[in-house]
Amino acid sequence: RGAHEGILRRQSARESAARTYARALPIVPVRARGMTIEGADGQRYLDCLSGAGTLALGHNHPVVLEAIRNVLDSGAPLHVLDLATPVKDAFTTELFRTLPPALADHARIQFCGPAGTDAVEAALKLTRTATGREGLLAFTGAYHGMTAGALEASGGARDVRVARLPYPQDYRCPFGIGGPNGAELAARWTENLLDDTKSGVPAPAAMILEPVQGEGGVLPAPDAWLRRMRDITAARGIPLIADEVQTGVGRTGAFWAVEHSGIVPDVLVLSKAIGGSLPLAVVVYRDDLDVWPPGAHAGTFRGNQLAMAAGAATLAHVRENRLAERAATLGARMLGGLRSLAADHACVGDVRGLGLMLGVELVDPESPQPASRTPHLGHATAPSASTSQTPSTSYAPPAPAQPAPAPPTTAPAVTTPTAPPASAQYPHQ
């Protein structure tokens, strides 16, 4: 107990306050297995943070530990810049096994490092180099990382090079409609922006999207909308970047979330779970985008052997044990349970997600704006008539927190991005 309090006190005295929201939890983890963390205070906690989507197999899975031990025991060098090694070869081979064949058959891979935001930067730089263009199409509520280019592509950012497009969603639909019609309006908005000569939007270098927005509030994009984005970009020669940093490795009920819609992106950005809980990031891209000469993209920490070994073991374990299918089954069960809970609690505005990537939106029942504090779920409170909401996609969407964008017949100028929806204001991990 004393050690626990001492560590917390010293850390909060010395560490910057610019830390993640998870740090507000007074927990000092000392051991972990599966989804259980043991704290220095002797308490056991269920870890629902899951390394922000990194722990596809939970903490310290035996296959991951064994893979790491094998590297350590083999005497292999731990640091070799990005030279080819047996460990790297095994990781790359396993990664290609899991990729959608239509991409894998014509793909190149670039190790970035060490975090998701580095892979996003690489994808932006690559598409800008390959197209010779600067502009970027990105979406409200998006989160792509904390480095300059990735930030620029993220929801709340304002940058002259970024055209901010509406991301479809039911509960806080930017057009107040939700469902397929809301998604169709969002798609038309994008089409008009690119086609309307008056919008003055120069041809962009790329479109970047998350198949399910994670930090934006767990928002799965409808398959039909994703296919429209693929068609719109393909028809105009705009590379499509799918950011699967958070959605990858089985979590959504498919190995990669793009498989649900069947779209084949030109660039796939991967990190988090591909390193089996250690830092690893890669971009996979169509080989004709491979315009970089040697040395055009470097970085000291792109050859993390332990992460590659842990990642290869994770990818193989998920593939061989069909854990994506298991996530789909368990996710459907959990979504059903959460919907029952939502029916009894007015503070639950919405439940949604794909596979086991699920979100519960807590609201202030009176508004219903996002809850300003964590409500108590201990007692079921029947929603009053005025705030009653049914726990299905037939939810009456609440009025958007921000003014709705102008109708999609009027394309926004590239320098005046759409106001982000309330979901874009969520704290980022």
Nearer to ligand PMP, 150 or 363 (CB): 150
Distance CA 166, CA 138 (A): 9
Cβ contacts of 397 within 8 Å, gap of 6 or more? 170, 171, 172, 173, 176, 177, 178
Give the shortest CB-277-to-ligand PMP separation in angstroms: 12
Q: Could you say whether residue 128 binds ligand PMP (CB under 6 A)?
A: no
Give the shortest CB-268-to-ligand PMP separation in angstroms: 12
Q: Could you say whether residue 354 binds ligand PMP (CB under 6 A)?
A: no
86 to 105: interface string for ligand PMP, x by CB under 6 A: --------------------
Count of beta carbons in the 10 Å neighbourhood of residue 344: 14
**Residue bearing tokens 């068609």:** 231
Q: Could you say whether residue 359 binds ligand PMP (CB under 6 A)?
A: no
Q: Pick the stretch among 39-47, 58-66, 242-250, 351-359 that binds ligand PMP (CB under 6 A).
A: 242-250
Nearer to ligand PMP, 389 or 423 (CB): 423
For β-strands 219-220 and 212-213, DSSP reports them as: antiparallel
Q: Could you say whether residue 255 binds ligand PMP (CB under 6 A)?
A: no
Structure tokens at 419: 């106001």
Q: With beta carbons less than 8 A apart as the criterion, state whether 380 and 160 touch.
A: no
Give the shortest CB-96-to-ligand PMP separation in angstroms: 22
Distance CA 291, CA 189 (A): 31
Interacting residues with ligand PMP between 267 and 296 (CB under 6 A)? 271
Q: Residues 94, 152, 159, 243: which binds ligand PMP (CB under 6 A)? A: 243
Give the shortest CB-244-to-ligand PMP separation in angstroms: 8
Q: Could you say whether residue 224 binds ligand PMP (CB under 6 A)?
A: no
Nearer to ligand PMP, 143 or 395 (CB): 143
What are the beta bridge partners of residue 82?
A: 80
Q: Residues 182, 211, 214, 275: which binds ligand PMP (CB under 6 A)? A: 214
Nearer to ligand PMP, 215 or 361 (CB): 215
Cβ contacts of 113 within 8 Å, gap of 6 or more? 279, 280, 281, 299, 300, 301, 302, 303, 304
Q: Could you say whether residue 177 binds ligand PMP (CB under 6 A)?
A: no
Distance CA 153, CA 156 (A): 9
Q: Residues 143, 175, 189, 301: which binds ligand PMP (CB under 6 A)? A: 143
For ligand PMP, the nearest residue by Cβ is: 116
Nearer to ligand PMP, 184 or 243 (CB): 243
Q: Could you say whether residue 52 binds ligand PMP (CB under 6 A)?
A: yes
3-state class (DSSP) for residue 29 = strand
Count of beta carbons in the 10 Å neighbourhood of residue 278: 19
Size of the site for ligand PMP (CB under 6 A): 16
Give the shortest CB-258-to-ligand PMP separation in angstroms: 13
Please state the length of the chain: 429
Q: Residues 215, 266, 350, 361: which binds ligand PMP (CB under 6 A)? A: 215
Cβ contacts of 30 within 8 Å, gap of 6 or more? 38, 39, 40
Q: Could you say whether residue 50 binds ligand PMP (CB under 6 A)?
A: no
Give the shortest CB-266-to-ligand PMP separation in angstroms: 17
Q: Could you say whether residue 246 binds ligand PMP (CB under 6 A)?
A: yes
Q: With beta carbons less than 8 A apart as the criterion, state whether 99 and 126 touch.
A: no
| Cα 335 from chain centroid (whole Å) | 19
Q: Residues 117, 131, 389, 423: which binds ligand PMP (CB under 6 A)? A: 117
Nearer to ligand PMP, 175 or 301 (CB): 301
Backbone angles phi, psi at 208, to 5 degrees: -120, 130
Backbone angles phi, psi at 70, to 5 degrees: -60, -40
Q: Could you say whether residue 252 binds ligand PMP (CB under 6 A)?
A: no
Backbone angles phi, psi at 206, to 5 degrees: -170, 160
Question: Which amino acid is located at 110 in the chain?
Answer: Q
Distance CA 36, CA 280 (A): 23
Q: Could you say whether residue 145 binds ligand PMP (CB under 6 A)?
A: yes
Q: With beta carbons less than 8 A apart as the criterion, state whether 121 and 206 touch.
A: no
Nearer to ligand PMP, 151 or 205 (CB): 151
Cβ contacts of 288 within 8 Å, gap of 6 or more? 106
Helix (H) or strand (E) holding 4: helix 2-14
Q: Could you say whether residue 303 binds ligand PMP (CB under 6 A)?
A: no
Chain residues that interact with ligand PMP, rule: CB under 6 A: 52, 115-117, 120, 143-145, 210, 214-215, 243, 245-246, 271, 429
